[in-house]
Structure 1
């Protein structure tokens, strides 16, 4: 597995900040809000009415309607809760480096039922899971990283790249991303911010878009 290259990380940051309308704090503020809204397995209607618009704004539903996904959520609510308590609760204070796909797989597998696609695209399950446990579940975006592997393959790619990266470089990149987030007097990095997955995602973006630089 090819480790992170610092130049790829910097290219990814530049792409994020110049080619998209995504927030300059890399969703730091959003993660704090999402953590406060986390239902911890109680996937009830009140939670869904707040969560669904975020999925929509992150373009996770296309081409499904909100109503279609809501119907499937209701049908799978008990299984979602069971999978959350089985796979997520035991590891919810860890990050991707400390868990295996096999440990957490039951939850994204149930989530994928809410938007069944023939291609088994990772977009919807990755965004749904990322909003709930961002330090464990990396977000997949076609525009950013391209290709459409299964979510299992993407999870293991992110995990493998991070683990292959030398410890001293990881420490430097964490410090660098922290500085980028907090620059200009913005709020400090939220304790639940997904540093490992975000840094690796940015490096992958840089790796993919290096030719377009």
Structure 2
């Protein structure tokens, strides 16, 4: 099987698994990305912004086993530092994606986010979801149900996703983008300009690799 055929097979298997999950949206969160983009505080991490964002994190099973009260207290401790880290690492990346940045350029923000949720063992899940909801084209998301949790740190996952995308040939990338675009448009939507195409394709391929049909 050619590299292109293998990539398309992984995408198809990932889509099949995605569609088998009753609560996962058919548009691959295209609508959600638009909403999250509108709600982005652009570095102004206030208590008013945090409460609905916390509910989103809870709905995405990113906060367990900690209560909202514990995480809110820790968020308040780090809100100012988060704002500084956003200005330092993220503002310059707003028009880019994972292929246009390095980990060293953006690490200050996820490293600050990680301080909000204390964990006994390193885990990228909370950090990935927090960052992904704010800057999805740069920060890939880890979902245990689809991907498992085979990466001990968010840096390891970020680098893995980045390498997967960079090692995919240009022609194959174009095929993958065209196919995912077709699937989103089949739901009756236009693809939101902020949709994280490279990260979502890689996520779906990794899901398909883990759950082949």
TM-score band w.r.t. shorter chain: over 0.9
Partner of 1:50: 52
SS in 1 for 2:117: coil
Aligned-residue CA RMSD in angstroms?
Answer: 1.3
Which segments of 5 or more consecutive residues in structure 1 lack a partner in the other structure?
none
**Aligned residue in 2 for 1:69:** 71
Q: Is 2:9 the partner of 1:38?
A: no
Contact in 2 for aligned 1:108/1:129 (Cα 8 Å): yes
Q: Is the counterpart of residue 176 in structure 1 residue 184 in structure 2?
A: no
Structure 1 residue 19: deviation in Å? Answer: 3.3
**Unpaired stretches in structure 2, ≥5 consecutive residues:** none
Q: Partner residue of 2:134?
A: 132
Instruction: Say whether the 8 Å CA contact 1:122–1:148 is kept in structure 2.
Output: no
Query: CA–CA distance in 2 between the matches of 1:64 and 1:203?
Result: 31
Q: What TM-score do you get using the length of structure 2 for normalisation? A: 0.95
Aligned length: 209
Counterpart secondary structure, 2:172? helix
Question: Could you give the per-residue CA deviations for residues 158-188 of structure 1, whole angstroms, max 9, x where no partner exists?
Answer: 000000001011011111101101104x220
Structure 1 counterpart SS, 2:90: helix
Partner secondary structure for residue 203 of structure 2: helix
**Poorly superposed stretches of 4+, deviation over 3 Å:** none
* Aligned-pair CA distance for 1:20: 4.5
Q: Aligned runs of 1:13-162 on 2, under 5 Å?
A: 13-149=15-151, 150-162=153-165
Please list the CA deviations of residues 42-95 of structure 1 after superposition, one character each: whole Å capped at 9, or x if unmatched: 000111122111111000100010110000000011110010000111111100
The separation in 2 between residues aligned to 1:33 and 1:156, in whole angstroms, is 27
Paired with 2:206 and 2:142, the residues of 1 have a C-alpha distance of 11
How far apart are 1:148 and its partner, in Å? 3.5
When structure 1 is superposed on structure 2, of 140-149 and 54-63 the one drifting more is 140-149
CA contact (8 A) 2:142 2:149 kept: no
SS of the residue aligned with 2:180?
A: helix
Residue 152 of structure 1, CA deviation: 0.4
